[in-house]
A and B are shown apart, each in its own frame.
Chain A
Amino acid sequence: MVLASRRANSCPSATPKRTGPPAPQRPPGAAVAGVERNVFYFAWMCAAEPAGLNKSEATLELPYSRSTGPVVGAFLTGLRDGRIVGARCGDRVLCPPLEYDPETAAPLDGEMVEVGPGGTVGAWTWVAEPTRKHPFPHPFAFALITLDGADTPLVHAIDAGSPDAMSTGMRVAAQFGADRHGAITDLWFVPEAEAANQDITPGDEPVTVTEHLISLQIRERLYPHRIRFAEGLRRGEIIGQRSPASGKVFVPARGYDNLERVTMSEADDVVVADRGAVSAFTVITPVEYYGQKETEPYIRASILLDGTDQAIMGVDLRDIPVSDMRVGLRLQAEWRPSAERDVSGLDNRWGGAWESVIERWEPTGEPDVDPRQLQDYAF
């Protein structure tokens, strides 16, 4: 049975009782080159690599140090020491171990029982195209493995060589890496007949913290208005957008007026002044964190460019003494020579990459703008 096509547009709704303004435009992206319609499936693999220069790549990293507690700590300490343990739960042994009975939620007494290293495979799947995060760069199996002595299975990886070597019910055995950290990645599994005897020296202290680096890659094309903004910076121009609804000028533009809830297009682009006044600033004292590059206090400022309604933010100012910084200070951009302007670091997400195109912001010597006129423009 095939339903007759019955929708003229893609945003249906109940028949309205009240009339309203006509339906607004389709999303601008729908009309812009770069939106593809796949006739064929696309598996859950890496995003298609955008061709051309107008793309941005970013890595989002979150390095976690996770404390472990009595049960997970005992389990991970065991792995570090070349042993696998489960938790006694009545007449069952749970592996991976839990603090509570999964059926009743009653707390368990904490007795740990050694299990494995051999076990039996329940369900399994063959990973034909491993991701960067998988335990092996070559195809392998993930499986539910019930270790000898345990009554519940754990999820882990089997380096079996070929899917032909895999079957439900097969025997596997744990192998421990030479370099162990007290993490689930300290071990893997192989078909039992291939397992090597291992002589593992246990560690001294219990594992109380386990490290997990989350690292995600984002790769996307620059949005059309960001491309125009980048090209403007290369030319020595700052491009904003003037809202057709309110006349307010946004910079850098986001392709829409969020106050009036209307999208904007190239027709709304305007060149804005490259001079303005400090509307807010902060002096940041560097603290130590993963990825920190700063060592001395530094200024981040918001500058309201003349004729605009939105301050540019996060402007790095190194040439103005902190003692001279004040809200209302008038500044003029001194651009880098054209050949030195670099917008390659610009992405869709953050501000303007100002340092890579503007060498410094020079106080103009003019009288300050009254700070009271700037108080609504800190962000």
Chain B
Amino acid sequence: MAMDRPVAVVAVAQTPSYRRYDDGEPVLIMTCVNDLLARTGLARDEIGFTVAGSCDYLSGMPFAFVQNLDGMGAWPPIYESHVEMDAAWALAEAYLRLQLGDVDVALVVGSGKSSPGRPREVFSLQTDPYLMAPLGIDPPSLAGLQARTLVDAGTATERDFAEVVARSRRAALDNPNAQVKQEVSVDDLLAAPYFAAPLRAHDLPPISDGAAALIVAAGDRAAELAQRPAWVHGLDHRIESHHPGLRDLTASPSTALAAEHAGVHDGPIDVAEVMACFSPEELVLRAALGLDDGATEVNPSGGPLAGNPMMATGLVRVIEVAQRIFDGEAGRGVAHASSGPCLQQNLVCVLTGERTMSAERA
């Protein structure tokens, strides 16, 4: 499908990533939404489409996504949608929706509280319901399998994993929203015991509560709403088999394919925010996106290892890139989001400070 209508991110908002937030998810959302409306000066009814990403299993409440609408403001009635996924995919839906031409402005919201439940148990439910979920296989164990394949293949070492963690925590010192931030040495990290060998606990993301939201607008409307919009040059997402045994866990072919179709390689990448929730994933993603280590700043926010408000984490990557474009720090950036075990499904979004039409892609 040709994306004829240029779409841009015009405003972003996020809550800090909390270890535990002792109030409801709608409140986290309401904060972000009110912030966006205040900053853009938009009235609630000027938003033509609202779409959210969240996970009822994570909340432990059926139809939690409906109560989340309280935070977005659903009165008078609004035109809205929901994905039971990270809100980066809600952005994908908003981006497509704006292509139809009848809606100019959309609100995208992501939120999640991981603290009340047990994410290791919740997200084992993403796996094959017959062959894997009854074993309770959890994301850290799956990430441990992926880490093992990388070490066995000689592609990465445990020291490489620790370096990712050290970089993340150091970068997070400059991010007021990050949860885990410190100067730490690689040797100190390597001295810690294994959790899902060859991974250690610090190779895993923290448990976080938080929300994030952004406003996208099309064409001239975007230019009206922001001085320097972050234009979507391309957005694509691809998925691999849900059977880990059928995949090459040392690489991310779906990320590489999505990157190609999103136009990552159409120009230089100044900044990349990748959803590496486990440290080995950052190495796999750098390679899959074809990032130039020397020229591209990767995860200056600290990335998910510094704060992981699940279901908002991917949207936060888009937000962090967009903000740097707003500020003039970056001309072109890529945001990546992932869903499912071991980077099973990947979304790539390329943002630029220049308004261009993205080329038609197969």
Contacts and interface: CB of A to CB of B under 8 A. Distances in A.
B118 A217 contact: yes
A14 interface: yes
A258 B135 contact: no
Interface in A104-149: 122-129, 131-135, 142-144
Contact of A123 (B74, B152, B228): B152
Given A43-B195, A128-B194, A142-B145, A18 B38 contact: no
Contact of A102 (B30, B31, B246): B246
Contact of A41 (B40, B125, B206): B206
Contact of A125 (B144, B205, B327): B144
Contacts of A35: 18-22
Interface stretch (B98-106, B126-134, B155-163, B281-289): B126-134
A27 interface: yes
A165 interface: no
Nearest to B147: A125
B281 to A, nearest CB: 14
Interface in B328-350: none
Contact of B130 (A15, A66, A144): A66
Given A24-B35, A47-B116, A16 B226 contact: yes
A153 interface: yes
A124 B151 CA distance: 11
Contacts of A154: 131, 245
Interface in A155-170: 155-157, 163, 168
Contacts of A217: 60, 117-118, 121
Contact of A216 (B10, B118, B198): B118
Interface in A1-59: 2-7, 9-30, 32, 34-48, 58
Nearest to B146: A123
A92 B28 CA distance: 51
A159 to B, nearest CB: 13
Nearest to B341: A155
Contacts of B27: 27-29, 255-256, 263
Contact of B197 (A17, A22, A128): A128
A185 interface: yes
A223 interface: yes
A102 B28 CA distance: 42
Interface stretch (B82-90, B176-184, B261-269, B354-362): B176-184
Contacts of A29: 18, 21-23, 27-28
Q: Is the interface of B mostly helix, strand, loop or mixed?
A: mixed
A314 interface: no
Interface in B22-48: 22-24, 26-28, 30-42, 44
A308 interface: no
A184 B132 contact: yes
B244 A258 contact: no
A14 B130 contact: no
Task: Give the interface size bracket for B toward A.
Answer: 35 or more
A21 B38 contact: yes
A193 interface: no
Nearest to A13: B11
Contacts of A2: 170, 173-174
Contacts of A254: 24, 26, 70
B130 A72 contact: yes
Nearest to B15: A27
B122 A216 contact: yes
B164 to A, nearest CB: 13
A212 interface: yes
B38 A23 contact: yes
Interface string A317-344: 0000000000000000000000000000
Nearest to A152: B245
A217 B61 CA distance: 11
A152 B249 contact: no
A214 interface: yes
Given A16-B225, A35-B20, A155-B131, A24 B117 contact: no
B16 interface: yes
A41 B162 CA distance: 13
B245 A144 contact: yes
Contacts of A157: 135
Nearest to B243: A96
B4 interface: no
A356 interface: no
A208 interface: no
B121 A132 contact: yes
A183 B128 CA distance: 12
B149 interface: yes
B34 A212 contact: no
A13 B174 contact: no
Given A16-B226, A42-B180, 7 more contacts: A2-B174, A42-B206, A45-B120, A60-B60, A127-B141, A134-B136, A258-B74
21 contacts: A12-B13, A13-B10, A14-B9, A21-B38, A24-B31, A24-B35, A24-B38, A41-B180, A42-B207, A43-B204, A44-B138, A122-B149, A128-B194, A128-B195, A129-B195, A142-B144, A153-B245, A216-B60, A216-B122, A258-B71, A261-B44
5 interchain residue pairs of minimum CB distance: A133-B136, A125-B144, A18-B41, A14-B226, A20-B41
Interface of B: 9-16, 18-24, 26-28, 30-42, 44, 57, 60-62, 69-71, 73-75, 114-122, 124-125, 129-142, 144-149, 152, 170-171, 173-174, 176-177, 179-182, 193-199, 201-202, 204-207, 224-230, 241, 243-246, 249, 300, 322-323, 326-327
